Each structure stands twice: as C-alpha cells, then as structure tokens.
Structure 1
Amino acid sequence: MVKRRCKGPQSSLPIDIIRDEILVKLPVKFLLRCRCVSKSWCRIIDDPSFASNHYKKCQNNQEKTRLLVLEPPDMCVAKQICAIRNGGKFRKLSKIGIDVTWFEQYQAVGYVNGLLCIKRYLKETQISQILLWNPSIRKALEIPCSRFSNDLQIRYDIDCAIGYDQVKDDYKVVASVVIQNGLYIPSDVEVFTLHTFSWKSVNVRRGPWLWRKDSPKVFLNGVIYWGALHVLVQTTLKGRFSHFMSFSVSNDTFNCIELPNNEQIHEWEYERFPIILDQSIGLMKVFESCSQIWVLEESKGKEQTWIKRFNINLQLFKKCIYFKMDGELLFAGEKCGVNSYDIKRQETKVLAKSYKLSPFYICVYMESLALLKGVPKKATYTFPPHGTVQSG
C-alpha cells in the first residue's frame, strides 16, 4: 500500500503521520501558525474531522483542563478581563483584555466545545449583540438580529443558551424575549443555527411554567437544562423551582422534568440549579445550613427518578462559584479567596488566598478550533482582536 506524502516542507513524512502523530498533539496557537507552512497542512488543520479529533484529545487529557473566568468590567481601566486559569491550582495562565466603554459589558450565557456564547450590553440592561466567541483562536462571530429586535419597540432583553448537535456537527443558540426582569412565560422562542446562519421560530407550550431570566443552564448529551416554576406549585414544597425545562438541540423540542420535594420543609431553601455529575444531569439544592446533590437516574422500568447522592455540610450559598462535572465545587473563601471542595472525598483545599473580583462567569475550558472553517461567507468576525492578549 502506497502512502500519500505531503508536498510541503516535510515531504519525507506521510500525511497520516503528520496529522495523527504531530499536529493533533499541538496547542491551538501553534496550529494557527502551522496553517501557513503549506497548503496541505492548512487543509489538514481546516478539516472539521481534524478539529473534532483535536478537541477530543484535549478533552481526555486532564493536564490540559483549564478554567475560563470572565470578570466584571473595570471602568477605571476601561477593560473587561477574560482569564484562562489552571484547572487544578487556579493559577492564571493568560488573559484577554476586552476594551469596553462606560455602561458596556459582556455577559457569558453558555459554553460548549470551546465556543462561548456572549451577550453585549449597553446602558446595563439594553442588549445590543449576541456573539459566538472562541478564545483559543481569538475570533468571534456576531449573530444577526432576530425577529425580536424588529418587532419590539420597547426595552427588552433576550434570555439565551447554546447547544451542540453532534450528529450534524452544528451549534445552536436558543433565545426567548424577556420584557420584564425575573420570572416570565415565554411568548416567542427562536433558534439560531450556525450552519445556515439564520433564525427560525420554534413551538413552545404556553405556560404553566415560568422561566427565570439568565438562570444557570447546563448542556449534556444534546439537551439544554434550566430551572422553571409551575405557577400552581407551592414553593414551600418544591423550593424555588419545581421543574427543569429541557430543550433538545437535535429536534428543537421542549420538555419538562419535575424536581423532588423539599425534604427540609422547616428550613429556607435558597437556590436550586442544574449541574452535571458523572455524565448525568443533577440538581443542587442549597439550604441555609447545608447543600444537597441529587442525580436523575433511570430505574429498571426505564423511568427516571431523582436519587439523593450527597449531603454537604457547608454553607455555600452566596459563595458558590462553579460546579465541575467531576464533583469538584469551587466556592468563595475568606478574604475573597477561592476554595475547592471534592464532594466524593469530602476534602477542601485553598486554590487562591485572595482574588480581587468575584467571577462574573466561570466554566471548564478546552482548546478548540471551532469557527475556523465551515462558517457561511456572509458571516463576519468581530470582538477582540481589538482586545489585548497577555501572558499570565
């Protein structure tokens, strides 16, 4: 069997060796430089299958696990910092300074496979842009305006989330209009598809579930989950939220999942939000004196039931920063420090003794080549490069 050989500078090596043994192991910043070596190398790196294999390599390598932290804007220096930190020690590896003006800020609403969905706000409440940003390649795409911005002449906000269709290798953004703050019943829901670079309306059953604006959302196995409240359910029995709403990215359908009752009816339940634990959808319930973690599991009859897995005797409300799917909980410590709690080992460690600002948004970050190719020609890149990139 005759192997094809690369026509570039490394012509003595077969293409499959270059692709599978060399390039796939390089960081994204080096791959971007390698695209300029030859046309054959550029074709390899731009191939969507190569981008997928490269991301899987990073995902399976715990040493490459990073944390992305989007901090609140600092108006004294007209910057909003996005920092990449070590996943184990919280040490800053690099940062991106995003130029902002007065009353301007960027809010992250979701992260999937290296791609961050961001809303740009002006005058604190008025949304002006929705962006898909890949910090690895320092590029972002501005999503075109949906029908929402054309039909409404009053101040409004858009609650949105991002998901990934693995079968079609496509990213989607689900958006609903919010006239008021807090809880709302969505009247219009639209879905943006990256491959078509357009919006479409989707059907959602009106009520009786109230959605909460900018509630925590998680994405798992093609489904987006977030909290909702049934208008007829007593909050003393179900807590702050009675259901999880879910959206299937593959077939654009909504569903709801009933949450377990509040066991500690005599204690105020501060918060409920979805988490991912061991590749299963979970629920974190935060009380005044402790926290509980429940997992949705399938029984022998193939019916899903909620099982309580952990009881955490830590008062983490107003301190909880982020829950990693491997069971590590990041929370604010004394003097604005950052601590880690392993729910399985019941171990606590200090990651940072001091941290100047409370994180605005934090997520597990993996390097990705998303948005490098396959984007429609009518799409335009925006949002930093005007920002500055610095080493940590």
Structure 2
Amino acid sequence: MIKRKRFRGPQKSLPIDIIQNEILVKLPARSLLRCRCVSKLWCSIIDDPSFASSHFKKCQSNQEKNRLLVLEPPDIIESKQFCAIRNGEKFRKMSKIGLDVTWFEQYQAVSYVNGLICMKRYIKETQISNILLWNPSIRKALELPFSQFSNDAKIRHDIDCALGYDHINNDYKVVASVYIGDDPLHPLHIPRHVYIFTLSTFSWKSANTDRGPCLWIKGGPKVFVKGVIYWGGIYVLTKPSPKGRFSHFVSFDVINDVFKYIDLPDSEHVNIWEYERFPILLDQSIALLEIFESYSQIWVMEDSKGMEQSWTKRFNINLQLLERCIYFKMDGELLFTGEKGGVNSYNIRSHETKVLAKSYKLSPIFVSVYRESLTLLKGIPERASFTFPSHGTSQIE
C-alpha cells in the first residue's frame, strides 16, 4: 500500500479581499447568515455596513435574477398569508414564506426599498395599525415603536406610511401620517400628525407640514425614486379644476426632511377619480399614469433642476389593461390579470403582450421587483429585532 504524505507546512488562509470580494459577496443572503458562524473574521466582514452595500449592488447588477416579490391576500380560514418570490419572466414560483395571521389581523405591504418591505399590521378589533420593517431575505423584522402616536393606545386610528432611503447618510426613513377617529377605510383625510422615523437612531420625530393645496390620499400607491417619496393628492374645492380631482403629487425628500406639493398636468377629464391618476416609476423618473374609459396615457416629470416641474406626455396605451394592472415595472412592462385569471404582461414600447401564467387565480395585494439585502442584520436594538412570525419557508428552486 502506498502511503500518502501529508503536508505539514504552515496553513495559509485566503487574503481578506478575496474572501470578501470573490466569495462572500456572490452568495445569497441566507447563505451569508450561515457563513457568519464560520469564524469571527467572516462574521465581522458580513456584519460590516459597507459589505451589505456591496452585496446589494451586486444583486442589483445581476440581470439574470429577474425576480418579483408577491404578497398574496390572506386566507383567514387557514390562518395563513403567503409572500412568494416569483420569476419575473414566467411568474413561476421560486420560493414562498408563510406568514401567520388571525381572524383579527392582516398584513399590508406599503412600499419596498433596497430589500426592505414597509408593512402595516392592521388589527380589525381595535382598528389600530402597527408599522413593521421586514427583510424577507434574512427573515428579520422590526416593529417600530408606537407610543407617541397616541396617548391612549385604544383610541381608534389609522396610519399611512412609506419607506425611503437616504443615500447620503446610508440610512432608512419612514414617513407616517396618523389619522385619528375617522373612518379608516375612507381614502381622503387630513392627517392629524405626521412623524418621521430614522432607522439609525431608532427614533421618531414630529414633522412640520402645512395643509397645502390638496388632501392626501390615504392608502394610495407610493413611489420612491432618487431620494424622494411620492404619493397622490386630491383637489377638494367644489369648483371644477382643469387638473381634475387628482391635482397634485405630495412629495417627501428623505435626505432633507422636506415636504412639497407638485402640480400635475391638466386632465382631459375633469371629473376623473383619484385612483385613475397615480404615480409610477419609469426609467428612474417619476411619472403619472392616467386611466380613462377606453385608453390610458403616461406623463413623465422632467428634471427641472430646482425650477418649476414640467410634464411631457410620452405614451398612449390604446388597450384598457390598466384596470387589472398589478405592477408597473420601471422598464415599461406592466403586469395585469387576465379576464379569466392568470397573469399577462404588456410592453408599452413594443406593444407586445405575453401570457406569463395561465392558472394564477389570486389577485396580489402587493408586487415589486425583488432584490436580496442584508439590511436589519446588525446595528439596531436587539430587543426590536425579531424573526417574522411564520409557519415555514419552502424553496422551489
């Protein structure tokens, strides 16, 4: 028998830059959680905020991973709600996360930024909403402190919120408008209070806002782009306006904590209702999507560099698809439900329509492009972080 010689020389480890830039940065987020247990060195690399940023940029640049995050409606009878990761080309389910729900509560996704979902947990019995930040990549969540919204937690109130990212300070902010004592299902109100939550300090502060020229649309679509969150505003005077009822965008600059009101272009139909004109993201620009009875059109807000905003009409869509629209991709592809179920796509530039899924019967309550992220891994109070209540995760591929 031939004896093999064992090498007894000094064991050399890989250089740190190779470990970080050639190995770890290419791994999925859940694998990185296990890699944190390999050594103190690996744990310190993965927990470093700069590594989290490099890892997220790597995920963004990987065009092959075209994935969608889909939050499905709750099944109250079986006490479950699913958040699925689906292929963006064929809408095929790749993995899913089961969220525990009860008869008295449900989860609503509000916005998705850099791998973080801003969610509301609505408790029907008390009609009180809590705000959560959840990272589905690492299954970690935060329940934001809530006491300052109301001196009495039993007072009926509703909260509208949105998430944004401050790229200057590498920080996340939530703007929350609080409505007290009114019908929580009514979409138009003046917020009683407005607060801003900063993740790095894990604290809220009161925001200074004026009433402005319009009411805020509570629960409508939110869009975050280039450091600014946009949502809709409603013209409330009885006198008709050339802009229609949907007259403004309300904006919040997450870097400077500044609110503004942006005039929308005149509407072709002055009696148009609020959800037929709403903000979308198109090619990294804020845009206005208008839905009429037989056609739709898209306006893009030009970069005015501090001057008054101007709008340019870019696209006319002759198909009445947008009533069933579930998501508008930044590249101009929209996903919509078919008349008999299923999910289709329509490209506003090529006018090409494709069938993505024939048998999908649910109507998603939230859809967004999915990107893996390590945010919420470290740097927040341990008592505030928890594993999202769920009944298991299944990996399809």
TM range (shorter): over 0.9
Which residue of structure 1 aligns with residue 91 of structure 2? 90
Q: Distance in 1 between matches of 2:102 and 2:394?
A: 20
Which residue of structure 2 aligns with residue 195 of structure 1? 200
Which residue of structure 1 aligns with residue 157 of structure 2? 156
Q: Distance in 2 between matches of 1:362 and 1:122?
A: 22
Offset, 1:382:
4.5
Which of residues 200, 222, 225 is equivalent to 1:220?
Answer: 225
In structure 1, the residue corresponding to 2:64 is in which secondary structure? helix
Q: Answer whether contact 1:277 1:325 (CA < 8 A) is retained.
A: yes
Larger displacement relative to structure 2 (370-379 or 348-357) = 370-379
Question: Residue by residue, what CA displacement relative to the aligned partner does 1:142-173 show, whole Å, maximum 9, x if unpaired?
Answer: 11114223257531100111111111111111
Which residue of structure 2 aligns with residue 40 of structure 1? 41
In structure 2, the residue corresponding to 1:52 is in which secondary structure? helix
Which residue of structure 2 aligns with residue 248 of structure 1? 253
Which residue of structure 2 aligns with residue 278 of structure 1? 283
Which residue of structure 1 aligns with residue 263 of structure 2? 258
Offset, 1:72:
0.9
Which residue of structure 1 aligns with residue 25 of structure 2? 24
Q: Distance in 2 between matches of 1:199 and 1:371?
A: 18
Q: Distance in 2 between matches of 1:42 and 1:147?
A: 36
Counterpart residue identity of residue 157, structure 1: D
Describe the shift of the 1:294–1:373 C-alpha distance in structure 2 as closer, same or farther (beyond 3 A). Answer: same
Describe the shift of the 1:104–1:381 C-alpha distance in structure 2 as closer, same or farther (beyond 3 A). Answer: same
Aligned positions of 1:17-166 closer than 5 A: 17-123=18-124, 126-150=127-151, 154-166=155-167
Q: Answer whether contact 1:270 1:287 (CA < 8 A) is retained.
A: no
Describe the shift of the 1:301–1:224 C-alpha distance in structure 2 as closer, same or farther (beyond 3 A). Answer: closer
Which residue of structure 1 aligns with residue 176 of structure 2? 175
Q: Distance in 2 between matches of 1:270 and 1:236?
A: 17
In percent, how many aligned pairs have the same letter?
70
Which of residues 185, 192, 197 is equivalent to 2:190?
Answer: 185
Describe the shift of the 1:22–1:188 C-alpha distance in structure 2 as closer, same or farther (beyond 3 A). Answer: same
Describe the shift of the 1:223–1:107 C-alpha distance in structure 2 as closer, same or farther (beyond 3 A). Answer: same
In structure 2, the residue corresponding to 1:44 is in which secondary structure? helix
Paired residues, number: 383
Q: Scaled by the length of structure 2, what TM-score is found? A: 0.91
Larger displacement relative to structure 2 (24-33 or 296-305) = 296-305
Question: Residue by residue, what CA displacement relative to the aligned partner does 1:216-254 show, whole Å, maximum 9, x if unpaired?
Answer: 000001100000023338566323410000001011110
Q: Answer whether contact 2:71 2:109 (CA < 8 A) is retained.
A: yes
Describe the shift of the 1:123–1:270 C-alpha distance in structure 2 as closer, same or farther (beyond 3 A). Answer: closer
Counterpart residue identity of residue 59, structure 1: Q
Question: Residue by residue, what CA displacement relative to the aligned partner does 1:311-363 show, whole Å, maximum 9, x if unpaired?
Answer: 00111243011111111111111311111011111111011112121001111
Offset, 1:184:
1.0
Q: Answer whether contact 2:244 2:269 (CA < 8 A) is retained.
A: no
Q: Distance in 2 between matches of 1:271 and 1:110?
A: 19
Counterpart residue identity of residue 122, structure 1: I
Q: Distance in 2 between matches of 1:125 and 1:357?
A: 28
Offset, 1:377:
4.0
Q: Distance in 1 between matches of 2:272 and 2:235?
A: 21
Which residue of structure 2 aligns with residue 387 of structure 1? 391
Question: Residue by residue, what CA displacement relative to the aligned partner does 1:56-84 show, whole Å, maximum 9, x if unpaired?
Answer: 11111111231111111112321001111
Which residue of structure 1 aligns with residue 331 of structure 2? 326
Which residue of structure 2 aligns with residue 305 of structure 1? 310
Q: Distance in 2 between matches of 1:315 and 1:269?
A: 17
Q: Answer whether contact 1:217 1:274 (CA < 8 A) is retained.
A: yes
Aligned positions of 1:286-365 closer than 5 A: 286-298=291-303, 303-365=308-370
Describe the shift of the 1:125–1:151 C-alpha distance in structure 2 as closer, same or farther (beyond 3 A). Answer: closer
Q: Answer whether contact 2:336 2:345 (CA < 8 A) is retained.
A: yes
Q: Distance in 2 between matches of 1:99 and 1:301?
A: 46
Counterpart residue identity of residue 387, structure 1: H
Which residue of structure 1 aligns with residue 3 of structure 2? none
Q: Answer whether contact 1:106 1:119 (CA < 8 A) is retained.
A: yes
In structure 1, the residue corresponding to 2:81 is in which secondary structure? strand
Describe the shift of the 1:128–1:277 C-alpha distance in structure 2 as closer, same or farther (beyond 3 A). Answer: closer
The structure having more radius of gyration, on CA atoms, is 2
Q: Point out where structure 1 has 5 or more consecutive residues left out of the alignment.
A: 1-9
Which residue of structure 1 aligns with residue 8 of structure 2? none
Describe the shift of the 1:299–1:163 C-alpha distance in structure 2 as closer, same or farther (beyond 3 A). Answer: closer
